[in-house]
């Protein structure tokens, strides 16, 4: 179904994107960050860094497992911009 501008009824609309594909939480909970955090914490506590690698990897795997079992959202809120009248509007899909 083609999206239509609610202001001028034009079909010359395009989907607006924010340009950021990975949000901040995903970056902070990435396996690389968690492993390096575990190693740094072990060095601070004077524990062997390999323990930090194991703990960081385990936490990263657990996070990935829980995120993969989450159901996708049923409604997506998407912004569009009309080329004819420059109106920005939101549509639910």
* pLDDT score, position 15: 86
- State mean pLDDT over 43-71: 85
Tally DSSP H helices, then E strands, for the chain. Answer: 3, 3
The mean of the pLDDT values for the chain is: 80
State how far Cα 26 lies from the chain centre: 6
- State mean pLDDT over 57-81: 74
Q: How many CA atoms lie within 13 A of 37 on its CB side?
A: 13
Alpha helices in 1-93 (DSSP H): 24-28, 31-44, 49-68
| Backbone dihedral angles phi then psi of residue 47, each to the nearest 5 degrees | -115, 155
Q: Is 0.85 topped by the overall pTM?
A: no
Predicted confidence (pLDDT) at residue 71 exceeds the cutoff of 60: no
* pLDDT score, position 65: 83
* pLDDT score, position 41: 92
pLDDT band at 80 (very low <50, low <70, confident <90, very high): confident
């Amino acid at each position: 179904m083609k999206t239509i501008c609610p202001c001028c009824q034009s079909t010359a609309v395009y989907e607006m994107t924010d340009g950021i594909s990975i949000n901040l939480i995903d970056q902070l909970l990435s396996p690389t960050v968690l492993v390096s955090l575990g190693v740094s914490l072990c060095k601070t506590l004077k524990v062997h860094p390999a323990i930090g690698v194991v703990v960081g990897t385990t936490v990263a795997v657990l996070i990935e497992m829980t995120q993969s079992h989450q159901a996708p959202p049923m409604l997506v809120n998407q912004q569009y911009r009309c080329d004819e009248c420059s109106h920005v509007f939101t549509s639910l899909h």
